[in-house]
Amino acid sequence: MLRAVRIRRIMPACFRGEDMGGEFLLADIGNTSIKIAFGGGDGLGTIYALPTKTQYTVDSIGLSLLQLLAASGRHAGSLAGCAICSVVPE
């Protein structure tokens, strides 16, 4: 519950175009793909898509995220936070 309250406080600053103090990892988890982007005061960068598979483990998704960060010239410590949304699985 604490995370939801924190996200609500961050989002209004985003909508006003204020600097949020760094980049955020943004993820949209769907039934067929996971869309990932990095965004901040400059808007969204490249949007990446990973397939959604029930066989994936937390570790495999974590490693994929680390690879995306490295490929885009970022590292986990450079992110100010994350926002994730998901659909109800089919």
**Cα gap 7→60, rounded to integer Å:** 26
Q: Which domains does the chain show, CATH number per domain? A: 2-86 (3.30.420.40)
Note whether 3 and 60 are within 8 A (CB). no
Q: List the strands of the sheet with 33-40, edge to edge.
A: 43-51, 33-40, 23-29, 79-86
pTM: 0.68
**Cα gap 54→63, rounded to integer Å:** 16
pLDDT per residue, tens digit, the chain (90 aa), is 334 434 444 454 554 455 556 788 999 988 889 999 988 777 888 889 988 888 888 898 889 999 999 998 888 888 888 888 888 766
